[in-house]
Amino acid sequence: MTPPLLTVSDLVVQYHRSGAPPVRAVAGVSLDVGPGEVVGLVGESGCGKSTLARAVCGLTAPAEGRIDFDGTPVRPLGVRRRDPALTRVQMVFQDPYGSLNPRRQIGAQIADGIRTAAERGEPTDGTTPQQYLTRVGLPESAAARYPHEFSGGQRQRIAIARALAARPRLLVGDEPISALDASAQAQVATLMRSLAVESGAGLLFISHDLSVVRLIADRIAVMYLGRIVETGSTAEVWDAPRHPYTKALLAAVPRADGAGILPTELPGDVPDPAAPPAGCRFHPRCPAAFDRCAREEPQLIAGGVACHLYAASDHGLQPLRSPH
Ligand SMILES: Nc1ncnc2c1ncn2[C@@H]1O[C@H](COP(=O)(O)OP(=O)(O)OP(=O)(O)O)[C@@H](O)[C@H]1O
Ligand SMILES: [Mg+2]
Domain segments of the chain as ranges = 6-97+169-181+196-319
From the alpha carbon of 51, which atom of ligand 1 is closest?
18
Cα 276 to ligand 1 centroid, rounded to whole Å: 14
Q: Which residues line ligand 1 (CB under 6 A)?
A: 15, 17, 23, 25, 43, 45-51, 273
For a ligand 1 pocket test, name from 15, 16, 281 the mutation site with the most ligand atoms within 8 angstroms of its C-beta.
Answer: 15
**How many CA atoms lie less than 13 Å away from 39 in the CB half-sphere?**
25
- Amino acid 317: pLDDT: 82
| 65/74 Cα distance (integer angstroms) | 11
The backbone torsions φ and ψ at residue 16, rounded to the nearest 5 degrees and listed phi first, read: -95, 140
Distance CA 168, CA 87 (A): 7
Q: What is the pLDDT along the chain (324 residues), one digit of tens a residue?
A: 677 899 999 999 999 988 888 999 999 999 999 999 999 999 988 899 999 999 999 989 999 999 999 988 998 776 666 677 889 999 999 887 888 999 999 999 999 999 999 998 888 889 999 999 999 999 999 999 999 999 999 999 999 999 999 999 999 999 999 888 888 899 999 999 999 999 999 999 999 888 889 999 999 999 999 999 999 999 999 999 999 999 888 877 665 555 556 555 566 777 888 899 999 999 999 989 999 999 999 999 988 999 999 988 877 788 887 755
Backbone angles phi, psi at 50, to 5 degrees: -65, -35
- For residue 48, which atom of ligand 1 is closest to its CA? 18
90 by DSSP, 3-state: which?
Answer: strand
Distance (angstroms) between ligand 2 centre and the Cα of 316 equals: 33
Q: Note the ligand closest to the C-alpha atom of 48.
A: 1
Atom of ligand 1 nearest to the CA of 54: 18
Evaluate whether 177 touches 212 at the Cβ level (below 8 Å).
yes
Ligand 1: centre distance to CA 48 (Å): 6
Relative to the alpha carbon of 52, which ligand is closest?
1
Beta-carbon neighbour count of residue 210 at 10 Å?
25
Whether 273 contacts 284, CB under 8 Å: no
- Please report the sign of the dihedral spanned by the C-alpha atoms of residue 268, residue 273, residue 276, residue 281: positive
- Cα–ligand 1 centroid distance for 24 (angstroms): 10
Determine the number of helices (DSSP H) and then strands (DSSP E) in the chain.
Answer: 10, 12
CATH architecture of residue range(s) 6-97+169-181+196-319: 3-Layer(aba) Sandwich (3.40)
How far is the C-alpha of 41 from the C-alpha of 232, rounded, in Å?
Answer: 11
Q: What pLDDT, on the 0 to 100 scale, is given for residue 242?
A: 94
- At residue 204, the pLDDT reads 98
Query: In sequence order, what DSSP letters do the residues of 50-77 get, joined into one string?
Result: HHHHHHHTTSS--SEEEEEETTEE----
Test site for ligand 1: of 26, 47, 93, 204, most ligand atoms within 8 A of the Cβ: 47
Nearest CA to ligand 1 atom 3: 15
Residue 44's pLDDT is what?
86
Ligand 2 centroid – CA 198 distance (Å) = 27
Residue closest via CA to ligand 1's atom 5 equals 15
